[in-house]
């Protein structure tokens, strides 16, 4: 097993005891909850006459079901209103801090928690949401958990888990202009497969990773789960510390100085032992787009849809299914594929820098006729800062819709859905069948800048061409 990695150090700090069967009782330093996976967990506590063990270590927000067009209460969707009201009641009853609509801090859980300074190096973080791996960008070990585990964390502030192996993914070089963190992680998932990370934690490292902003790092770790890894993380450094400094929940004064010393001690040792290592050249990566029905079915903008018959035997059937479902032909270029809807947002790419990069492509241009394009900020804070910078006006002038914060068309648990066989250029994280709200809807994953380029041209476009104009 690995030794001397950040994962090993954080795991050891949070061990409570060894359990029969080889699992570890692991203390959870930060528990994030939302309206979808928490109601049943709170009901289970009530049935067993249990209280929330450490309410000060649990933070709540609402994101999945909130409408993005009109957030006036009560919501027009009775089920959404009921889910929000239930979360409000459970938080009030149990003394849990709730960042709700109108709080100025509500947002997608994996956007609002980091921007408040809740997520810090050396933490263990859990949330009833697959993309909790996002928080690993700070040098935390973060796990998505199921509803029964949400119950366990509420009741005991701990989880029963088996320790993972650690794979280091070292990325040399620098990303080209027009190539972003989203392209890098889609490339990694394509290379290693959607099941390649099963049983592993991914440590992302190397010059190309170190040059990423915190928001780019969050994108990388966010999608580690799509490669099968239970978590992904990046060692904390000056970029991390600068991001956290002065945030609401960050340490202050002498506590800040002490925290910096401790955070630096967590970094993976130079002689650490990994269970596996992969090395990539970041400078060779091009803008990447998914063509199929898993995040691993991606190709560079200059490639053609693969011929299923030419793929390894174990990939041929799903490639055939993907071509049929997506209505794409083998050997067809991905560039030029027509799209209907463009979505910029989600816990993967709904942060301020994502909107800034996309707005550079949009400025001075117009959305192509017949294209529905909209932007959903990841949080109220992102929305406010974007408005202060005039980013909302750039999108509105170009013909985009500007929405209120929420998960929106990533999961489509609100009114934001594809219709029929529409095909979407999306900055979200999953392109599964029916993922964006229509049983027959189709999703092409790409960076926010690439989504913006698709909106302008009405088809999949190499964003680098627009950057050169």
Count of residues making up the chain = 469
Per-residue model confidence (pLDDT) at position 26:
98
pLDDT score for 55: 98
pLDDT at position 49: 96
Q: What is the largest CA-CA distance in the chain?
A: 65
User: Is pLDDT at 6 greater than 90 in this prediction?
Assistant: yes
The mean per-residue pLDDT over the stretch 312-329 comes to: 96
Residue 387 has pLDDT above 90, yes or no: yes
β-pairing, 401-402 vs 423-426, is unpaired
How confident is the model over 415-459, as pLDDT tens digits? 999 999 999 999 999 999 999 999 999 999 999 999 999 999 999
The whole-chain average pLDDT of the chain stands at 97
Q: How does pLDDT run across 262-273, given as a tens digit for each residue?
A: 999 999 999 999
d(CA 321, CA 291): 12
What mean pLDDT is predicted for residues 201-228? 98
Q: Which residues are registered as beta bridge partners of 232?
A: 202
Residue 469 has a pLDDT of: 85
Q: What percent of the chain has pLDDT over 90?
A: 99
CA distances from 106 to 34, 76, 103, 125 (A): 11, 19, 6, 19
The stretch 60-83 carries a mean pLDDT of 96
Which residues, including other chains, have CB under 8 Å from residue 239's CB and lie 6 or more apart?
Answer: 210, 212, 213, 214, 217
pLDDT > 90? residue 46: yes
Write the pLDDT tens digit of every residue in 116-138.
999 999 999 999 999 999 999 99
Q: For position 263, what pLDDT does the model report?
A: 98
Residue 247, burial from CB neighbour count under 10 angstroms (0-12, 13-18, 19+): middle
Instruction: Tell me: pLDDT of 76 over 90.
Output: yes
- Across 362-382, average pLDDT: 98
Q: Are 271 and 4 in contact (CB under 8 A)?
A: yes
Residue 108: per-residue pLDDT = 98
**pTM of the full predicted structure?**
0.97
Average pLDDT of span 210-228: 98
Rg (CA), the chain: 21
C-alpha closest to that of 439 among 412, 415, 460: 412
User: pLDDT (tens digit, 9 = 90+) per residue, 102-120?
Assistant: 899 999 999 999 999 999 9
């Amino acid at each position: 097993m690995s030794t001397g990695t950040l994962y090993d150090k954080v795991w050891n700090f949070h061990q409570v005891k060894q359990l029969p069967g080889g699992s570890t009782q692991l203390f959870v330093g930060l528990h994030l909850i939302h309206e979808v996976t928490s109601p049943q967990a709170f009901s289970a506590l009530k049935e067993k006459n249990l209280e929330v063990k450490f309410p000060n270590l649990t933070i709540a927000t609402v994101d999945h079901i909130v409408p993005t067009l009109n957030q006036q209460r009560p919501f027009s969707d009775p089920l959404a209103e009921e889910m929000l009201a239930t979360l409000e009641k459970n938080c009030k009853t149990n003394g849990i801090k709730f960042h709700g609509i109108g709080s100025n801090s509500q947002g997608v859980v994996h956007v609002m928690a980091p921007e408040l300074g809740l997520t810090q190096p050396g933490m263990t973080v859990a949330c009833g949401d697959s993309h909790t791996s996002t928080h690993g960008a700070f040098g935390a070990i973060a796990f998505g958990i199921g509803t029964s585990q949400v119950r366990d964390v509420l009741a005991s502030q701990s989880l029963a888990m088996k320790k993972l192996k650690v794979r280091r993914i070292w990325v040399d070089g620098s990303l080209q202009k027009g190539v972003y963190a989203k392209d890098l992680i889609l490339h990694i998932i394509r290379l290693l497969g959607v099941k390649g990370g099963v049983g592993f934690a991914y440590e992302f490292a190397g010059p190309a990773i170190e040059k990423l902003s915190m928001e780019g790092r969050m994108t990388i770790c966010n999608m580690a789960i799509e490669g099968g890894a239970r978590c992904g993380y990046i060692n904390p450094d000056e970029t991390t510390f600068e991001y956290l400094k002065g945030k609401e929940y960050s340490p202050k004064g002498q506590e800040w100085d002490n925290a910096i010393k401790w955070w630096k001690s967590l970094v993976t040792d130079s002689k650490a032992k990994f269970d596996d290592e992969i090395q990539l050249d970041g400078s060779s990566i091009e803008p990447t787009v998914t063509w199929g029905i898993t995040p691993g079915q991606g190709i560079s903008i200059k490639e053609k849809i693969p011929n299923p018959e030419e793929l390894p035997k174990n990939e041929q059937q799903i490639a055939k299914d993907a071509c049929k479902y997506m209505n794409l032909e083998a050997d067809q270029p991905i560039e030029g594929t027509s799209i209907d809807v463009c979505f910029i947002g989600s816990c993967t790419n709904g942060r301020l820098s994502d909107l800034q990069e996309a707005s550079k492509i949009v400025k001075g241009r117009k959305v192509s006729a017949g294209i529905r394009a909209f932007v959903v900020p990841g949080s109220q804070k992102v929305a406010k800062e974007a408005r202060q910078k005039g980013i909302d006006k750039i999108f509105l002038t170009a013909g985009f819709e500007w929405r209120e914060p929420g998960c929106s068309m990533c999961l489509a648990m609100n009114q934001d859905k594809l219709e029929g066989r529409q095909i979407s250029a999306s900055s979200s994280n999953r392109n599964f069948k029916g993922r964006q709200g229509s049983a027959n809807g189709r999703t092409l994953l790409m960076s926010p800048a690439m989504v913006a380029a698709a909106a302008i041209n009405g088809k999949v476009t190499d964003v680098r061409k627009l950057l050169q104009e």
